[in-house]
């Protein structure tokens, strides 16, 4: 890949960066808002990330040969897929699901020991994500397999071993395939859930191909399970460090949605999205030729002092219009209503059932590393 020699270089996978991702992004953003690694060019500033996300003609999402619906699809085809997908996350659908997620969150929170160290990621985030997702999709019998898969997937991704990641992906497709098969066998007796609805949906007046159904379901589950779990880790860690915010939200939970969004803005666990340029583009005086791989660094953009009062300043209402946790442009996260509902319900349930959430005195939180942000382990005690 050839690119402008003027672009400063960096190595996002180096030990130094991995041991302090947020700090490095903060420094990169002020020192060199565009930087190149052997794998592509990273954009760190809010304005550049938003501009690229809003220019799908110049910045294509078809970054690999593997077709992923709707993630890797460009205009004009992309709009048709979003028209099919977005109604699954309508306010009406979310209102129907909300009490079922509340019941899951309440029973999980009630089962947690008090005054004992627990890990908010493993003992709250992951089980909540899996139980809420299987409830939504109607995949009740897959809970244990999905939990095991999440752990395998996490380890395989970090191993960098292609054979392992391929095997883990195949194992996941098998879980999905079984769900599709079962509903086809049941025909009219298939359960009334989003999975059945997707199998019977049409795109452009034709039924979906199996590969398309599997791809959509993969993006609804595989991509999302981990982000809900890590997002909960980030929110719980923030609350543990900010008892004042905890008390305020306990007193008035109506502000929970913007509050959680703001906690995720400060420490956005969804680090980057990839694009590839379709033509020569200019960014801050640098010329990126067609075919340049580009990383939109949401985590850095979300801490950009040019837009936010301060990277770590907690101002939910004021910062909401610029928040990029769920992306921007045509690929903006369709699952946001679901993610936000699950996070708000779970955090609300945790606050309501406790008088305090504290960092454990006997263990240290551990950061996640690329390709994920936030926390790997958040040891806390509930009071």
Q: Per-residue x/- mask for ligand HEM, residues 304 to 343, rule CB under 6 A?
A: ---------------------xxx---x-xxx--xx----
- The one among 58, 80, 82, 291 contacting ligand HEM by CB under 6 A: 82
The answer to whether residue 220 forms part of the interface with ligand HEM (CB under 6 A) is yes
Q: Please, what is the minimum distance in Å from the beta carbon of residue 355 to ligand HEM?
A: 27
Burial class (CB in 10 A: 0-12, 13-18, 19+), 18: middle
- The one among 153, 196, 246, 273 contacting ligand HEM by CB under 6 A: 273
Residue 382 bridge partners (DSSP) = 357
| Closest residue to ligand HEM, based on beta-carbon distance | 335
Query: Residue 327 or 348: which CB sits closer to ligand HEM?
Result: 327
Burial class (CB in 10 A: 0-12, 13-18, 19+), 360: middle
Instruction: State the alpha helices, DSSP H only, in the chain.
Output: 15-18, 21-31, 46-53, 77-85, 91-111, 120, 126-137, 143-159, 162-186, 194-199, 210-241, 243-251, 256-266, 298-301, 316-319, 336-352
| Torsion angle of the four alpha carbons 118, 122, 125, 130, in this order, in degrees rounded to the nearest 10 | -140
Q: Per-residue x/- mask for ligand HEM, residues 55 to 74, rule CB under 6 A?
A: ------x--------xx---
Query: Residue 36 or 52: which CB sits closer to ligand HEM?
Result: 52
The answer to whether residue 298 forms part of the interface with ligand HEM (CB under 6 A) is yes
Phi, psi (rounded to 5 degrees) for 367: -75, 150
Of 31-39, 138-146, 224-232, 245-253, which part binds ligand HEM (CB under 6 A)? Answer: 224-232
Residue 87 CB contacts under 8 Å (≥ 6 apart), including other chains = 93
Burial class (CB in 10 A: 0-12, 13-18, 19+), 317: exposed
Residue 99 CB contacts under 8 Å (≥ 6 apart), including other chains = none
- The one among 104, 228, 276, 357 contacting ligand HEM by CB under 6 A: 228
Query: Residue 349 or 381: which CB sits closer to ligand HEM?
Result: 349
CA distances from 29 to 65, 311, 373 (A): 31, 11, 17
The answer to whether residue 382 forms part of the interface with ligand HEM (CB under 6 A) is no
The answer to whether residue 238 forms part of the interface with ligand HEM (CB under 6 A) is no
The answer to whether residue 45 forms part of the interface with ligand HEM (CB under 6 A) is no
The answer to whether residue 125 forms part of the interface with ligand HEM (CB under 6 A) is no
- The one among 21, 42, 142, 219 contacting ligand HEM by CB under 6 A: 219
Q: Please, what is the minimum distance in Å from the beta carbon of residue 5 to ligand HEM?
A: 28
Asked whether the beta carbons of 340 and 260 are under 8 A apart, the reply is yes
Q: Per-residue x/- mask for ligand HEM, residues 131 to 160, rule CB under 6 A?
A: ------------------------------
Residue 26 CB contacts under 8 Å (≥ 6 apart), including other chains = 300, 303, 311
Which residues of this protein are in contact with ligand HEM, per CB under 6 A?
A: 53, 61, 70-71, 82, 219-220, 224, 227-228, 231, 270, 273, 298, 325-327, 331, 333-335, 338-339
């Amino acid at each position: 890949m050839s690119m402008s020699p003027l672009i400063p270089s960096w190595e996002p996978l180096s030990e130094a960066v991995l041991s302090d991702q947020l700090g490095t992004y903060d420094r990169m953003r002020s020192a060199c808002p565009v930087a190149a690694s052997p794998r592509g060019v990273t954009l760190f500033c809010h304005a550049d990330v938003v501009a690229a996300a809003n220019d799908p003609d110049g910045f294509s999402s078809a970054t690999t040969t593997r077709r992923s619906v709707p993630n890797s699809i460009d205009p004009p085809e992309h709009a048709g897929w979003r028209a099919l997908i977005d109604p699954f996350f309508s306010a009406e659908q979310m209102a129907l699901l909300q009490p079922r997620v509340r019941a899951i969150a309440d029973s999980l929170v009630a089962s947690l020991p008090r005054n004992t160290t627990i890990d908010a990621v493993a003992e709250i985030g992951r089980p909540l994500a899996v139980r809420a997702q299987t409830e939504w999709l109607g995949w009740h019998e897959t809970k244990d397999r999905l939990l095991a898969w999440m752990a395998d997937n996490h380890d395989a991704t970090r191993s960098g071993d292609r054979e392992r990641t391929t095997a883990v992906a195949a194992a996941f497709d098998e879980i999905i395939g079984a769900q599709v098969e079962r509903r086809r066998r049941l025909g009219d007796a298939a359960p009334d859930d989003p999975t059945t609805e997707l199998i019977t949906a049409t795109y452009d007046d034709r039924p979906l191909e199996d590969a398309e159904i599997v791809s959509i379901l993969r993006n609804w589950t595989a991509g999302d399970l981990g982000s809900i779990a890590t997002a909960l880790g980030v929110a719980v860690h923030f609350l543990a460090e900010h008892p004042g915010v905890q008390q305020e939200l306990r007193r008035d939970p109506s502000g929970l949605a913007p509050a959680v969004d703001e906690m995720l803005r400060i420490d956005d666990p969804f680090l980057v999205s990839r694009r590839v340029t379709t033509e020569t583009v200019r960014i801050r005086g640098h010329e990126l030729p067609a075919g340049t791989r580009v990383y939109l660094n949401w985590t850095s953009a979300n801490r950009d002092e040019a837009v936010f009062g301060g990277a770590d300043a907690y101002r939910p209402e004021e910062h909401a219009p610029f928040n990029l946790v769920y992306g921007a442009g045509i690929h903006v996260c369709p699952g946001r209503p679901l993610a936000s509902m699950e996070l708000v319900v779970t955090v609300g349930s945790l606050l309501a059932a406790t008088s305090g959430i504290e960092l454990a005195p006997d263990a240290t939180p551990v950061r996640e590393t690329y390709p994920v942000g936030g926390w790997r382990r958040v040891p806390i005690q509930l009071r």
